């Protein structure tokens, strides 16, 4: 038997709640906002097929690795890696991966919460019927006016941060579980309602054909890289969030089974979001390749021109807000867990301090769309918001995921890994070692380097 740190007192009440929590971490703006528009920009069905392959090759191995490290280490990502290094007589320098995850989550939450604030504001705008009968130019102008008002953007960013801090401060059973127990089933139900609405609107058949009929002539090398990168990022990997959640997993929970369940649930919800959005888009004769503005400019137009659009549009943005909240909670958990282990402040106090610091940093992202819109990073021409987004996406997240795969594939004793994953047959053990030790790191490294080079060349 492998050595394992003693089980914590603050554990998930059961494996189903852990699956909901981890899926909630993975299902966020990346699934509902980003996945549909990048699928639309990159040809639909062929892109989706490549994305699903990438989930299997990269997403599942790295997620299983993160859950296992958290479960074995029974602490925040930083302390968990220190615990494992000492237990198995490995270099404690590997704890730097945990530090990087905490930093990455903090940076991401600061700008992620800004976009989530936009979503919260749009719940009210849609329910009010403001966009009923509005055309694209009217909706686009309304979105531009909102971004141009720093006080409005700051207000809704602050609202979202307060709600996130509230749930995080209450701990695992009274906060995190309470949120995911109701929000994740609500997300699923709302998506089904919106798909039914799309069927009624008349765009369902076109949506299914667009997403599930591969057209490989539309698949470019860049699209393959985007699918590979998104498969990695959509599962909240590389920032310590899944590792932090893994620390609360009871011993009897199977890492392999829960990893597959989470990956499937996350992917299904992403596909359902795509079906729901494109059904509404096609029903209104709108372009599926509208880009990042698909959520805030195209979708309100679509709902505004459908019967009952105000109600269902409000439901849609409520769905996105719930998904964003579960992701924000998980992103903040590595930092909260680490400072909670230091024992000097209560969890609630730490949540307020870290949330406040995150809010201060987020003000820079708020101003990036108005007062600081012309303040750019030299050479790259990035705003403050862009800089945080690109640095985390192009450097910190892929590097974190790559190092996690290296730790599990080459640093930890293989018998410990096999035991935790329940791998008993030699052939299966060899396949796992090959995938997580070589295929996954190589694929992530390729995305890491090629995407970084492409971004640099674009701005030269």
Mean pLDDT of the chain: 84
Q: By mean pLDDT, which of 16-20, 27-31, 254-258 is the weakest?
A: 27-31
User: How far apart, in Å, do the first and last CA atoms of the chain sit?
Assistant: 55
Q: By mean pLDDT, which of 60-64, 198-202, 374-378 is the weakest?
A: 198-202
pLDDT at 39: 83
Q: When comparing pLDDT for 254 and 92, which is higher?
A: 92
In whole angstroms, what is the distance from residue 269 CA to residue 200 CA?
Answer: 20
Work out the pLDDT band at 460, boundaries 50, 70, 90.
low
Q: What is the mean pLDDT of residues 9-36?
A: 73
Q: What is the mean pLDDT of residues 150-177?
A: 87
220 pLDDT more than 90: no
Does residue 168 contact residue 332 with C-beta atoms inside 8 Å? yes
317 pLDDT more than 60: yes
* Two tokens, residue 168: 């995080």
174 pLDDT more than 70: no
pLDDT in tens, 121-154: 999 999 999 999 888 788 889 999 999 999 999 9
Q: What is the mean pLDDT of residues 110-117?
A: 93
pLDDT in tens, 379-412: 778 899 989 988 887 788 888 888 999 999 999 9
Contacts of 211 (CB under 8 A, 6+ apart): 39, 44, 45, 48, 271, 274, 275, 278
pLDDT at 172: 65
Topology classification of domain 15-458: Amino acid/polyamine transporter I (1.20.1740)
pLDDT at 397: 82
Q: Which residues in 165-202 are b (16+ Cβ under 10 Å) and which e?
A: bbbbbbbbeebbbebbbebbeebbebbeebbebbbebe
Work out the pLDDT band at 1, boundaries 50, 70, 90.
very low
21 pLDDT more than 80: no
Does residue 23 contact residue 265 with C-beta atoms inside 8 Å? yes
Does residue 258 contact residue 19 with C-beta atoms inside 8 Å? yes
6 pLDDT more than 70: no
Does residue 32 contact residue 323 with C-beta atoms inside 8 Å? yes
Name the burial class of residue 445, with classes exposed (0-12), middle (13-18) and buried (19+) by CB atoms within 10 angstroms of its CB: middle
pLDDT in tens, 270-311: 788 788 878 877 877 777 776 666 778 777 887 887 788 899
Q: Which residues in 242-275 are b (16+ Cβ under 10 Å) and which e?
A: bbbbbbbbeeebebbebbebbbebbbebbbbbbb
Does residue 330 contact residue 24 with C-beta atoms inside 8 Å? yes
In whole angstroms, what is the distance from residue 246 CA to residue 180 CA?
Answer: 15
Integer CA distances (angstroms), 381 to 150, 291, 376, 377, 378, in order: 21, 20, 5, 5, 6
Q: pTM for the full model?
A: 0.87
């Amino acid at each position: 038997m492998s050595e394992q740190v003693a089980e914590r007192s603050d554990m998930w009440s059961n494996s189903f709640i852990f699956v909901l929590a981890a899926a909630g971490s993975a299902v966020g703006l990346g699934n509902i906002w980003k996945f549909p528009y990048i699928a639309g920009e990159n040809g639909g069905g062929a892109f989706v097929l490549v994305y699903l392959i990438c989930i299997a090759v990269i997403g599942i191995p790295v997620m299983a690795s993160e859950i296992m490290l958290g479960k074995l280490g029974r602490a925040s990502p930083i302390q968990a890696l220190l615990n494992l290094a000492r237990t198995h007589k490995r270099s404690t320098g590997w704890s730097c991966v945990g530090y990087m995850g905490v930093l990455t989550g903090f940076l991401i939450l600061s700008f992620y919460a800004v976009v989530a604030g936009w979503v919260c504001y749009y719940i009210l705008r849609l329910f009010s019927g403001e966009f009923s009968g509005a055309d694209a130019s009217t909706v686009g102008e309304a979105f531009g006016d909102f971004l141009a008002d720093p006080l409005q953007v700051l207000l809704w960013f602050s609202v979202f941060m307060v709600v996130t801090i509230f749930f995080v401060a209450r701990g695992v059973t009274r906060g995190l579980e309470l949120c995911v127990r109701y929000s994740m089933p609500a997300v699923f139900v709302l998506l089904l309602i919106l798909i039914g609405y799309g069927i009624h609107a008349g765009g369902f058949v076109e949506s299914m054909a667009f997403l599930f009929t591969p057209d490989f002539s539309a698949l470019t090398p860049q699209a393959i890289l985007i699918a590979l990168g998104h498969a990695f990022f959509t599962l909240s990997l590389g920032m310590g969030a899944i590792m932090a959640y893994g620390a609360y997993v009871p011993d009897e929970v199977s890492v392999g089974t829960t990893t597959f369940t989470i990956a499937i649930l996350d992917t299904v919800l992403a596909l359902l979001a795509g079906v729901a959005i494109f059904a509404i888009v096609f029903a209104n004769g709108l372009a599926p390749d509208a880009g990042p503005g698909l959520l805030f400019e195209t979708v309100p137009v679509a709902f505004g021109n459908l019967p009952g659009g105000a109600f269902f549009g409000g439901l849609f943005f409520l769905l996105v807000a719930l998904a964003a909240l579960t992701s924000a909670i998980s992103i903040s958990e590595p930092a909260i867990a680490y400072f909670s282990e230091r024992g000097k402040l209560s969890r609630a106090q730490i949540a307020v301090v870290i949330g406040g610091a995150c809010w201060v940093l987020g003000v820079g992202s708020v101003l990036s769309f108005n007062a600081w819109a012309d303040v750019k990073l030299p050479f790259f021409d990035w705003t403050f918001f862009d800089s945080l987004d690109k640095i985390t996406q192009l450097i910190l997240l892929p590097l974190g995921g790559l190092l996690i795969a290296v730790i599990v594939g080459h640093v930890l004793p293989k018998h410990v890994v096999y035991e935790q994953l329940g791998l008993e047959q030699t052939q299966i053990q060899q396949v796992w070692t090959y995938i997580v030790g070589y295929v996954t790191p190589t694929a992530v490294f390729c995305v890491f380097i090629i995407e970084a080079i492409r971004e640099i060349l674009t701005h030269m």
